[in-house]
Chains A and B, each alone.
Chain A
Amino acid sequence: MSQIWSRAKFFFAGKRRSEMDEEIQFHLEREAEANMAAGMPEKEARRKAAIAFGGRERAREECREERPSWSLESVWRDVRYGIRGLGRNPGFAIVAVLTLALAIGLNTTIFSLLDQALMSALPVKNPEQLVVLSFAGASPGHTHSNGGNDAGHRHEFSYPMYKDLRDQNKVLSGLIAAASTGVGVTWNNRAESVGAEMVSGNYFETLGVQPAVGRLFTASDESAPGANPVVVLSFDYWRTHLAEAPVAGKTLLVNGTPFTITGVAAPGFHSMVWGRTPDVFVPITEQKVVEPDWDFLSDHNSYWIDLAGRLRPGMTAAQAQASLNALFLSLRTAEFTLQHDQSAKARAAFIDRAHINVDAGAKGFSPLRGDVQTPLTIIMGMVLLVIGMAIVNVASLLLVRAAGRSQEFAVRYALGATSGQVLRQLLAEGLLLGGCGAAIGLLLAPQALHLLIHRMSGGSPDGLPFTPTLDWRVLLFTLAVTVLASLLFSLAPMAQFQNPKLAEAMKERGGSGSGRSLQFRRSCVALQIGFSLLLLVGAGLFVRTIENLRNVDAGFATDHLLAFDLDPQLAGYPGPGVAPVEQRAIDAVAALPGVRGVGATNDSDLAGNGISGDVEASGYTPKPDEDFDVELPWVSNDYLQTLGIPLVAGRHFNVGDTATSEKVAVVNESFAKHFYGNAQAALGHVVSRPNRKGTEATIVGVVRDVKHESVRDPAIATEYTLFTQAPKPAGLTLYVRTWQAPEATTNSIRGAIANLDSKLIVGNPRTMTKEIDENLLAERTIAMLATVFGGLAALMAGIGLYGILAYSTAQRTREIGIRMALGAQRGTVVRLILREVMVLAGGAVVVTIPLAMLATRAVRSQLFGVSIADPAVYGAGIVVICLVAALAGFIPARRAATVDPARALRTD
């Protein structure tokens, strides 16, 4: 033990100096003795001995260099030297560190979002064992999808299929099911609508999620339909909405039905589907309470639940797929006997073309992931450009600084420093800058992340599944980027100092730099202009996109319009009572002061969703294999007038159209054109849903097309019918047209609805403009960030160019002095320098434009109403970058031109 200790001490401390001294002293004396023995006088003997030995200090130094920890020590020395060097030039150090901090901070922020969305595993036990199930094959009947499907991968299964797969498979240690929905929850007499997930009883157990309070569900909580009115709360909901009250065993109303709270899920857990943030979990067997319209539990033809499984230890996804596929096909074969259509074609589609997919599911199946992938990748691409900018920027600053140090380096070489030592010194300085930048960047990143998430979610506390924390993957990435960037920019000055010729370096003092370093500086300038033009063009395109989207004519006025959701079923109203109370609510809100009109629909506008289906139109023979879906909103009498959708033919709905009167429909122009050729011809025809009784309605009017799902999408054929005449109850979105600012009416609306029934929930009141904005989340975020990046790029380019130009202009002081002595005017001198800058900038621009067009092709899917070669965007970008370049060149040019020629000539 003591030996290890002494060795360790030896490693770091080496021999003590006194020991070394004593040894050397002994050597000298022994040498002197030997000399004296050879007959020299003592003084002479000592002198000879000292000469023979050489420099004592050098011997000591060389002994020290043999120590194993020497390299560590020299690194420390380099760092200290670097700190001193940077301290001598604080302006440079601050600009460089801030540039790097901004770039690295941005990079960390965006990468963290990317990491959370695309790379992080779910916060559950052994996520690598999780698999996601999907299938291919016909799915006749009803599908309730939340997106994320593609050819051959349908993620929704029926409940009977789930139970059979769960109970009969031999490859999974657990198979779980979940379906996302919304419910009305009443707690302490306060009603609100919240997100919910219907889950299988083994959901939490299989995922390995622990309770924070009480207990979570077990398999016994999923027994018979309606038999287990129990609910688990998400941690966030419990914390923010129930103030962490003791809840286990308490009762809470879900859609008016009492449910017992069993517990609260662990913090950090949201759902097996990434992107879902349900507030409450209920057993899947309570489907009838959660979604009273549905009866899915026993139906083989209702596809509505997402499945995920946990592989048994040692099992691979491929093995599981082979085994599950056999089971799935035998179940499908049995299921086929229950289908209406028993034709061979149907059989082929249902069984022969069916198979099950078992895919790795550590990250969880997620439709949202697909939505955010492209925008995040684009943003990350822009961030990498910003990083590239920062590297070139710092490199050029270092280059300028290094140029001023050429004599220092020449002296160091002259004193015997090797290229390696100089390189190490430069690297130490670079890493020092990078390290400081990264440290500040990492400090800023969580703040930036918080701000960004807040902006993206439009200020609402829940909704987006991002957290403003950095995990190890992000830190590792930041470290890698920092080191790489530092290496790149710190090596830049080496271009100037590698293999230096001392005499030349000394001579170079007044010259304009060697050819190579001049070329390097020019490349830096060109790169900076190129990078920033790329970013400016990107920013321009995305800003144009968001402007275009905001200014799209929806077909109706979107201002002074307040929307809120009303679903009496969430308050426990039975089916037949729903429409009357909705009508009363509409009337009550319409009677409020300041309200111009109220319209309601079950198919909210410009909110990114739709309700559509096929129809049969009298007097129209569909083409063979025609598959034409029509938007089918159920609306209130005043809906079309309130939104201000102009009438083209016939009449609007009116008060004469009631629940008991003749069923009527209003269609839009696209509908009329598709089925009847023109608006007039459509009037009087009857439209119905195939195989659904009670859906026949006579067309009484035709209205202008309006945008429905989003402002991006073109208008689609639409058939409006009245919700009072609809075959079943539906939750509505009410649109309130106001005289004043729409937000101001929110409270009086809440009052009016509470007056009607305090259990009714005014869901998510928002203005139409905000709704559109929320619908444009990706575009808005990209535009905002692109603008920030573009501005940053221009700023960095300005700083970098200024640095380089200030230096190279100063180098030419003598030349300028000669020119002026020979009669050049100041203006001529300024023009001379500016012309060089602009020629360089022009060259960079010409090279960058085709590259920009190539790069922007990749983002075309995210653009709207703007060409990737939009001349205005490119023009503006070029003007900005040329202005920046001109300004960066003008200041040093002016300074050079004001120099007194006599003095300039006398320098050196």
Chain B
Amino acid sequence: MPPSADLLQGTLDMLILRSIALQPEHGWAIAQRIQQVSNHVLTIGQGSLYPALHRLEYKGWIRAQWGASENNRRARFYALTAAGRKQLEAELANWGRLTGAINLVLERI
């Protein structure tokens, strides 16, 4: 099941990694954050959020831990691992190159 039609293949993973780069977050907050920051342009299909989180966890890029949420309830918080940080850097660099190249083409043609 592809993430959202609006999201390029593989970009969901990058967005998730990026949104927990500063501090651990739980699933709902990750989805909310992406939605808010993108001015509701990017909506994360919730059916694809959790499989993605699981996938990233199995790959060893993120780590899950139970913690207390902002309203003091038990929630699963996801944090970047060292491997995840490296992966995020690589994906960002790649993304930068890709968008830069696309922009170049769009501007010059």
Interface residues of A (CB under 8 A from B): 15, 19-20, 22-24, 26-27, 29-31, 33-34, 52-55, 58-59, 62-63, 65-68
* A26-B74, A30-B69, A66-B55 known; A58+B46 contact, CB < 8 A: no
CB-defined contacts of B46 to chain A, threshold 8 Å? 27, 52-54, 59
Bound complex: CA of A33 vs CA of B71, how far in Å? 10
* A26-B76, A27-B27, A27-B46 known; A59+B32 contact, CB < 8 A: no
A-contacting residues, B57-105, CB 8 Å: 58, 69, 71, 73-76
CB distance from B108 to the nearest CB of A (A): 41
* A23-B27, A31-B28, A52-B46 known; A65+B51 contact, CB < 8 A: yes
Instruction: Judge whether A62 and B28 touch: CB under 8 Å.
Output: no
B1 within 8 A of partner (CB): yes
CB-defined contacts of A67 to chain B, threshold 8 Å? 54, 58
Leading 5 A-B pairs by shortest Cβ distance: A62-B51, A66-B54, A30-B28, A66-B55, A63-B54
Select B47's contact among A20, A29, A54, A68, beta carbons within 8 Å: A54
B26 within 8 A of partner (CB): yes
Instruction: Judge whether A34 and B32 touch: CB under 8 Å.
Output: yes
A-contacting residues, B1-41, CB 8 Å: 1, 26-29, 32
* A34-B32, A66-B58, A67-B54 known; A55+B47 contact, CB < 8 A: yes
Instruction: Judge whether B69 and A24 touch: CB under 8 Å.
Output: no
Known: A15-B54, A54-B45, A62-B50. 12 other contacts (CB 8 A): A23-B75, A26-B26, A27-B27, A27-B50, A34-B32, A52-B46, A54-B47, A62-B1, A62-B47, A63-B54, A66-B58, A67-B54
Bound complex: CA of A27 vs CA of B69, how far in Å? 11
CB distance from B20 to the nearest CB of A (A): 15
Bound complex: CA of A27 vs CA of B71, how far in Å? 13
Instruction: Judge whether A59 and B47 touch: CB under 8 Å.
Output: yes
Select A66's contact among B28, B51, B74, B75, beta carbons within 8 Å: B51
CB-defined contacts of A66 to chain B, threshold 8 Å? 51, 54-55, 58
CB distance from A517 to the nearest CB of B (A): 33
Q: Chain A: which residue is nearest B46 at the CB level?
A: A53
CB distance from A804 to the nearest CB of B (A): 41
CB distance from B75 to the nearest CB of A (A): 5
CB-defined contacts of A23 to chain B, threshold 8 Å? 27, 50, 75-76
Bound complex: CA of A53 vs CA of B46, how far in Å? 5
* A31-B28, A67-B58, A68-B58 known; A24+B50 contact, CB < 8 A: yes
Bound complex: CA of A862 vs CA of B82, how far in Å? 72
Bound complex: CA of A193 vs CA of B47, how far in Å? 86
CB distance from A711 to the nearest CB of B (A): 74
Bound complex: CA of A54 vs CA of B49, how far in Å? 12
CB-defined contacts of A24 to chain B, threshold 8 Å? 50
Select A26's contact among B32, B45, B55, B69, beta carbons within 8 Å: B69
Instruction: Judge whether A26 and B75 touch: CB under 8 Å.
Output: yes
Bound complex: CA of A31 vs CA of B29, how far in Å? 10
Instruction: Judge whether A63 and B51 touch: CB under 8 Å.
Output: yes
CB-defined contacts of A29 to chain B, threshold 8 Å? 73
CB-defined contacts of B1 to chain A, threshold 8 Å? 62
Instruction: Judge whether A26 and B28 touch: CB under 8 Å.
Output: yes
CB distance from A394 to the nearest CB of B (A): 37
CB distance from B107 to the nearest CB of A (A): 39
Compute the total of residue contacts between A and B using a CB distance below 8 Å.
60
CB-defined contacts of B54 to chain A, threshold 8 Å? 15, 63, 66-67
Bound complex: CA of A24 vs CA of B47, how far in Å? 10
Instruction: Judge whether B74 and A27 touch: CB under 8 Å.
Output: no
Bound complex: CA of A258 vs CA of B23, how far in Å? 96
Bound complex: CA of A30 vs CA of B1, how far in Å? 25
Q: Chain B: which residue is nearest A23 at the CB level?
A: B76
CB-defined contacts of B69 to chain A, threshold 8 Å? 26, 30
CB-defined contacts of B29 to chain A, threshold 8 Å? 30
Bound complex: CA of A20 vs CA of B50, how far in Å? 9
Instruction: Judge whether A53 and B47 touch: CB under 8 Å.
Output: yes
CB-defined contacts of B48 to chain A, threshold 8 Å? 62
Bound complex: CA of A29 vs CA of B27, how far in Å? 12
CB-defined contacts of B47 to chain A, threshold 8 Å? 53-55, 58-59, 62
CB distance from B99 to the nearest CB of A (A): 28
Bound complex: CA of A190 vs CA of B102, how far in Å? 100
- 5 of the cross-chain contacts (CB-CB < 8 Å) are A19-B76, A23-B27, A23-B75, A26-B69, A30-B28
Bound complex: CA of A26 vs CA of B31, how far in Å? 13
CB distance from A851 to the nearest CB of B (A): 52
Bound complex: CA of A20 vs CA of B71, how far in Å? 20
CB distance from A7 to the nearest CB of B (A): 9
CB distance from A247 to the nearest CB of B (A): 67
CB-defined contacts of A20 to chain B, threshold 8 Å? 50
Q: Chain B: which residue is nearest A65 at the CB level?
A: B51
Instruction: Judge whether B50 and A63 touch: CB under 8 Å.
Output: yes
CB-defined contacts of A54 to chain B, threshold 8 Å? 45-47
Bound complex: CA of A181 vs CA of B50, how far in Å? 81
CB-defined contacts of A53 to chain B, threshold 8 Å? 46-47
CB distance from B22 to the nearest CB of A (A): 20
Q: Chain A: which residue is nearest B53 at the CB level?
A: A63
CB-defined contacts of A22 to chain B, threshold 8 Å? 74, 76
Bound complex: CA of A23 vs CA of B55, how far in Å? 15
CB distance from B82 to the nearest CB of A (A): 15
Bound complex: CA of A67 vs CA of B50, how far in Å? 12
Bound complex: CA of A20 vs CA of B45, how far in Å? 17
CB-defined contacts of A15 to chain B, threshold 8 Å? 54
Bound complex: CA of A23 vs CA of B26, how far in Å? 9
CB distance from A386 to the nearest CB of B (A): 47
Bound complex: CA of A67 vs CA of B74, how far in Å? 24
Bound complex: CA of A27 vs CA of B28, how far in Å? 5
CB-defined contacts of A62 to chain B, threshold 8 Å? 1, 47-48, 50-51
Q: Chain B: which residue is nearest A19 at the CB level?
A: B76
CB-defined contacts of A34 to chain B, threshold 8 Å? 32
Bound complex: CA of A753 vs CA of B5, how far in Å? 102
Bound complex: CA of A22 vs CA of B76, how far in Å? 9
Select A59's contact among B51, B75, B76, beta carbons within 8 Å: B51
Bound complex: CA of A762 vs CA of B102, how far in Å? 100
CB-defined contacts of B71 to chain A, threshold 8 Å? 30, 33
CB distance from B36 to the nearest CB of A (A): 11
CB-defined contacts of A33 to chain B, threshold 8 Å? 71
Instruction: Judge whether A59 and B50 touch: CB under 8 Å.
Output: yes
CB-defined contacts of B75 to chain A, threshold 8 Å? 23, 26, 30
CB distance from B54 to the nearest CB of A (A): 4
Q: Chain B: which residue is nearest A64 at the CB level?
A: B54
Q: Chain B: which residue is nearest A54 at the CB level?
A: B47
Q: Chain B: which residue is nearest A62 at the CB level?
A: B51
Bound complex: CA of A31 vs CA of B69, how far in Å? 13
Q: Chain B: which residue is nearest A28 at the CB level?
A: B28
Q: Chain B: which residue is nearest A10 at the CB level?
A: B58
Looking at B29, B47, B69, which has the most chain A CB atoms within 10 Å of its CB? B47
CB distance from A718 to the nearest CB of B (A): 86
Bound complex: CA of A858 vs CA of B76, how far in Å? 73
CB distance from B52 to the nearest CB of A (A): 8
CB distance from B81 to the nearest CB of A (A): 13
CB-defined contacts of B74 to chain A, threshold 8 Å? 22, 26
Q: Chain A: which residue is nearest B43 at the CB level?
A: A52
CB-defined contacts of B26 to chain A, threshold 8 Å? 26, 30
Bound complex: CA of A63 vs CA of B73, how far in Å? 23
CB distance from B39 to the nearest CB of A (A): 17
Bound complex: CA of A22 vs CA of B55, how far in Å? 18
Bound complex: CA of A59 vs CA of B51, how far in Å? 7
CB distance from A12 to the nearest CB of B (A): 12
Bound complex: CA of A130 vs CA of B84, how far in Å? 57
Bound complex: CA of A52 vs CA of B46, how far in Å? 7
Bound complex: CA of A682 vs CA of B23, how far in Å? 118
Bound complex: CA of A20 vs CA of B76, how far in Å? 10
CB distance from A6 to the nearest CB of B (A): 12
Bound complex: CA of A27 vs CA of B29, how far in Å? 9
Q: Chain B: which residue is nearest A61 at the CB level?
A: B51
Looking at B1, B46, B73, which has the most chain A CB atoms within 10 Å of its CB? B46
Bound complex: CA of A67 vs CA of B51, how far in Å? 9
CB-defined contacts of A58 to chain B, threshold 8 Å? 47
